[in-house]
Every structure is written in C-alpha cells, then in structure tokens.
Amino acid sequence: MSADNNVTQRRRADDWKKPAAPAMTHDQLGIVLNDVAAMAKSIERFASLLLANLAAGQDEDEAFLAAIEAMAQRIGWASDLVCDRIDGTGGAVHGDAEKWMMPPSFHRHQAAAGGVAE
C-alpha cells in the first residue's frame, strides 16, 4: 500500500457549503432563543445544586462548576436580551442581567427591602 492511499484528501471550502436555509421568522427566532435561555437556566440550576453539595476541599471542582454556572448565566442573559428587543419573540424567559447573574441571596434581600436593592 502506498503512502498516498493513507492520506485523507483535503476538501475545498466549496465542498462544505450547503444551500442557504430560508430566513427565520421572528416567531421562529423567538422560539429558538427562548429555548436557549430555558436550557441555560437549567444548566445554571444544575451547576448551582452541584456547587451547594460539594464537600470541603474540592477547589478544582468548585472552580469548574462556577465557570459552567457563569457561562450558562451569560448565555441565558444574552438570549433574553435579544428576545426582549425583537417584537414577536415572546419576551425574556428569566429577565435582565441582574436576574440572571446575581445570587439568590441578593434577590431575597431585594424582596425583603420592598424591591429596592440594598
């Protein structure tokens, strides 16, 4: 067997192109972004639960889970930001950056203060 037979032929960029998909409607865009935000919220909750149940001394696991939680919050917030600004998308799933990224204790204190953050 020659060496040439073992080499995978490189594909040109044109080989990978697919026909353009039709544009999404605002409703379709909203459905997709709302789903992204809902999934991000699920990931955030899961990471938060795992963080709460870590044993002491698991610093690497804690850092990993905190990073996952932060990325989920950012993805969800970005999806909600877009949904909130495009008519016909159904609006935000969870809310603004404060609702996505501040810890539950922040929201408890805010509610106790009558809606005003301390």
Contacts of 25 (CB under 8 A, 6+ apart): 88
Mean pLDDT by 10 residues, the chain (118 residues): 55 59 78 90 90 83 90 91 78 83 84 69
Contacts of 18 (CB under 8 A, 6+ apart): none
First-residue to last-residue Cα distance in the chain? 75
Rg (CA), the chain: 22
What is d(CA 6, CA 9) in angstroms, rounded to the nearest whole number? 9
For residue 19, give both structure tokens. Answer: 């026909």
Q: What are phi and psi of 65, to 5 degrees?
A: -65, -35
Nearest to 42 by CA among 75, 82, 83, 90: 75
Question: Which pLDDT belongs to residue 116?
Answer: 58
